[in-house]
Every structure is written in C-alpha cells, then in structure tokens.
Amino acid sequence: MYKLPKGTYDVLPEEIKKWQRLENFLHRIMSLYNYDEIRTPIFEESAVFHRNADDSSDVVNKETYDFIDRGKRSMTLRPEGTAGVIRSFIENKMYAQNNLTRLYYIGPQFRYENPQKGRFRQFSQFGFEAIGSQAPELDAEVISLTYNIITRLQIPNTKVKVNSLGDKTSRDNYREALVSYFKGFISRLCSDCLKRIEKNPLRLLDCKSCRKEDFFKDVPLINDYLSTEAKQRFQTVLANLDAIGIKYEVDNFLVRGLDYYAHTVFEIETEEALGSQNVLGGGGHYDRLVSDLKGPALEGIGVAFGMERLLLVMDHYKLINLPEQFVHFYLLPLGEDAKKKASELLNTLRMGGLICETDYNNRSFKANLNNADKLNSRFIGILGSDELNNNEITIKNQKTKTQEKISLNALYDYLKTAFTPQHSCNSSCRKEKE
C-alpha cells in the first residue's frame, strides 16, 4: 500500500468542512479591513527565498525543498508566503496603483522539518501583508486585526507578545553586545547556538535549551540598544494598541524566525491546546524586503497563522459546530425507463438547488432504503413503471414516515415548499392581524 509522505496529511471530507468554515470566516474578516486575496505559485525561482548568502534563518537555510527543473532552473517550494507575495507586488507594479496595498493569502507552505503535533512538512498558512507604509499606527492596526481574528474565533487563553527589533543600527549594536556576552559562556552554549553566534546571535534568544541555563539571566536586552527613533516608534505602536484596547505583553526575547523583520515583531501564543508548538501565528514589520527583492524602497508589515494550528485549537475547545449533513431527495428508479426519466429529473432538481442522490449500482429496494437512511435523506422518491405510466411519483417523507403519490410535474414545487422555512409571526405581526 502506498503511504503519505512523512510530515503531510490528507484532509478528509469530514475535516474539509472545518477548513471551509474557517476560510469563509477569514475571507469575511479580511474584507472588513479592505484586504484583497492573492494566490501566488507554490514554487518560485529559488532566489526569491535564498536572497542573501548571510541569511541565518533555519526556514531559509535548512528547511527549503529546492529542486532543479527540467529546464535546469533552480526552484524552491515556498516555505513562507511573504516573499512570493512581495515578488508579485513588485512584478505587477501594485505600488503604482495604491498608496498602501493590502493582500492576504491562504495556501500550502513547505518546510523540511521534524514533524510533530502542529508541525508538518506541508502545512497551510493564512497570512496578510500591508505594503507601502512605515507608519507605526499601521503596525498597531495589523496586530489588532490579528487579535480580533483570534477573539472572533473565540479562542481562549491566548497571549499577544510584542517586541521591537529596532532599525539596522539598533540591531547591529545589539548584535555586537550579544556576541561579546555569549562569548563569555562559549563552552556552555549548545551546538546550534555555537553556529548561530557569529551568523545571527539574535537567534540565541530563541533557543529553548540555552534559555534555561543560568548564564542567560543577565543577557543584554534589545530595548537598551534601540535608537531614540526606534524607541519612539515602538512607544507609538504600544500607545495605539492601548488606545484600541489590545492586551499584550512586551517580550524582549521575541525575535521571530525570519531574517527580514525590523522594528515591530509579534506573536500570538495559545496557553495549552498545542503543547510545545504553541505559537498560532506571528509576524512583523519589514523595512528592506521589498528593495531586497528589487522593488522600490517601501516598507510593510505581515503576519502568518498556521491553519492547522488554528483548527487544532478550535477542535480542542470545540469551537466548530458543523451543520447536520443531509440529502434533500433520494430518487430510486425501478426499471430502465424510470432510470432514463430519473436522469432528467435529478438534473432539474439539482439545478433548482436541491441536494439529490440516487443508485447507480442496481442495489435491492431494501439496500436502497438503507442507503437513503445512511445519507440522512429527507425524502425518498420511488419511480416504478406504474408511477411512470401515470406521470406520478411515490414520495416517502422520512421524518413523518408517511407516503403519498404526487404528479411528477409537481415534484419540484412539492420539495421546494417542504424545504422553505414557514413564516412564523412575531408578536407585533400577530397584533397587527388581531
């Protein structure tokens, strides 16, 4: 038997309904903030992701699926959504049409990681980008939208963490301070951090194992290295969050996994449901990504959520109530002439908006009744030769357990009336009648 590739999963029909619910919700809330959906390819020329030789993020360095296509071009399955969206933003000169471009996406991403609960090799992200402004107020708006998504989904026990990585000068100074600090404890660093110390010492702050060590307690904090402007900018973001009423925690250890962030970074954590993979989503401001991808010098801010993690948490808290599945009408034709008529009838009923099923396997009458039951059919229609000769059909109402013969010409209206909610008067309507 063939098996799924490691780190992937099938979304089976029962599950896909949850995905559709979540996606519908996301489409709705994004339109409130005037974001447009964008769909970019799942692979891009590798340079879109492998931009800088000194990129230190695991996502770009160690986890991409890279391949040479038959035209000998170097391609990469996208490990994240932002770079492809920015590539498209530049290629389609979206900056020429708008002051601020707001785009969102939902789609698969690929990272060669060690799979575990909430961590896959193919996973899906919902994300959004607001490109074309460096305003700190926009950072606050994006964080508040992120917060509103979680709140509207009613996910409890979450925490919004924010930090500022400052501008390039702030980060360069901070990097230097971190390197000289950690060099004092070089023999106690884990093997990963030994590699990170030169390339990107900020990533040491993320290390789950080193962070537990006592040498971490006096580690320099970014806040003390922010330039006056960067500090001022961060204060404006926080003041705006306060004004909107967003509860957050400033976490100086928050650095995020991708290298392109500057100034504001943030994450939404869930406190229980997901075990160690407790980050539902996160993002931040970027100041050079657009120009790194050979676009104009525009800044932006983006966020990405893991769809699987959102769904896992929503399942955990039983937040998705799916409507009962049913079939309006199960048609059981008996004999060749009836089958021919059935094709025509089913087509008309379906095009008229009714969910219909029938039998294509010549099952017995009893097996068909069982099947209709299994599918939760509200009505069963029996079309035998007698019925056909009289231009009639026998209708069984599965709820009332009654049956009657009606004219075939009246079938559509009969079913439509049965499924149209009856007007039930409210008290003012009753009063009017009295």
* Residues of the shown chain interacting with ligand AMP in the complex, contacts defined by CB under 6 A: 59, 80, 111, 113, 118-120, 123, 125, 257, 279-282, 304-306, 308-309
Min separation Cβ 294 and ligand AMP, Å: 22
Q: Find tokens 């993979």 and name the residue.
A: 277
Three-state secondary-structure class, residue 387:
helix
For ligand AMP, give the closer residue by CB, 108 or 220: 108
Q: Does residue 140 contact residue 241 with C-beta atoms inside 8 Å? A: yes
Residue number of the CB closest to ligand AMP reads 306
The amino acid at 196: R
Min separation Cβ 7 and ligand AMP, Å: 8
Q: Does residue 223 contact residue 252 with C-beta atoms inside 8 Å? A: yes
For ligand AMP, give the closer residue by CB, 155 or 334: 155
For ligand AMP, give the closer residue by CB, 257 or 384: 257
Q: What gap in Å lies between CA 284 and CA 82, rounded to an integer?
A: 11
Which two three-digit tokens encode residue 390? 């009289």
Give, as one character, the DSSP assignment of residue 214: G
For ligand AMP, give the closer residue by CB, 25 or 412: 25
Long-range CB contacts for residues 137-142, cutoff 8 Å, separation at least 24:
137/236, 137/237, 137/240, 138/100, 138/301, 139/237, 139/240, 139/263, 139/264, 139/285, 139/301, 140/236, 140/237, 140/240, 140/241, 140/244, 140/246, 141/33, 141/240, 142/283, 142/301, 142/302, 142/303
Min separation Cβ 114 and ligand AMP, Å: 9
For ligand AMP, give the closer residue by CB, 161 or 233: 161
Q: What gap in Å lies between CA 303 and CA 284, rounded to an integer?
A: 7
Min separation Cβ 115 and ligand AMP, Å: 8
For ligand AMP, give the closer residue by CB, 301 or 382: 301
Min separation Cβ 432 and ligand AMP, Å: 54
Min separation Cβ 275 and ligand AMP, Å: 13
- What's the distance, Cα to Cα, between the start and end of the chain in Å? 71
Radius of gyration of the chain (CA): 29
The amino acid at 267: E
Min separation Cβ 148 and ligand AMP, Å: 17
For ligand AMP, give the closer residue by CB, 51 or 309: 309
For ligand AMP, give the closer residue by CB, 267 or 387: 267
Min separation Cβ 280 and ligand AMP, Å: 5
∠ Cα 268 271 276 (to 5°): 90
Q: Does residue 62 contact residue 112 with C-beta atoms inside 8 Å? A: yes
For ligand AMP, give the closer residue by CB, 123 or 225: 123
Min separation Cβ 257 and ligand AMP, Å: 4
Distances in Å between the Cα of 295 and the Cα atoms of 88, 262, 279, 301, 427 are: 10, 18, 31, 15, 63
Q: What gap in Å lies between CA 83 and CA 95, rounded to an integer?
A: 16
